[in-house]
Amino acid sequence: MPEVITFSNTSPLLYLHLIQKLDLLPQLYGRVTIPPAVESELAAGAARGVNVPQVSALPWLQVMPLASTVSIPIVMDLGRGEAEVIALGLENPNSRLILDDTLGRRIARLQKLQVTGTVGVVVKAKHAGYLPVVAPVIGALQKAGLWLSDAVVAEVLRQAGEM
């Protein structure tokens, strides 16, 4: 069976970095791959003084160019990072995408791609034994700026066995 490649968009990297839980990604997935647009978004954030992870300092994070721009979804409301992550998913069957954007997740699912988000990573980390509880991590993510509805928080806590 071919190796499952994990592709991440910018927001999961940013939010996990802000709450000092970025190490969950290599613990759960080994190597994580990003498209050039995500690398550019992180660099642009750093240039503006935003606290973002530095790609070159993370040996488990690699940049993969797209084989073709033809596979990039043409959706006006989809950010370049999300579009390139979805395109890489389409180019690499049996891959996993980490996306938080609702539209991006919907498009990826319509394309039959495997999708999770930042909170999905947190729940998986608890089930894998890397986190004792998720409730404080969810609170930290919200404090860092990740918007989550009350229904999503309740579902995450239920999935984590904390409700």
Q: Is residue 45 part of a domain?
A: yes
Min mean pLDDT across 7-21, 63-77, 102-116 is at 63-77
Q: Which tens digit of pLDDT belongs to each residue from 148-158?
A: 999 999 999 99
Share of the chain above pLDDT 70, in %: 94
Q: Is residue 155 part of a domain?
A: no
Range of 82's domain? Answer: 6-131
Q: How far apart are CA 116 and CA 100, in angstroms?
A: 8
Per-residue tokens: 61: 């994070």
CATH number, position 34: 3.40.50.1010
Q: Which tens digit of pLDDT belongs to each residue from 10-59?
A: 999 999 999 999 999 999 999 999 999 999 999 999 999 999 999 999 99
> 34, 64 in Cβ contact below 8 A?
yes
Q: What is the pTM assigned to this prediction?
A: 0.93
Q: How many structural domains are present in the chain?
A: 1
Q: Is residue 18 part of a domain?
A: yes
Q: How far apart are CA 148 and CA 145, in angstroms?
A: 9
pLDDT value at 69 more than 80: no
Per-residue tokens: 90: 């389409």
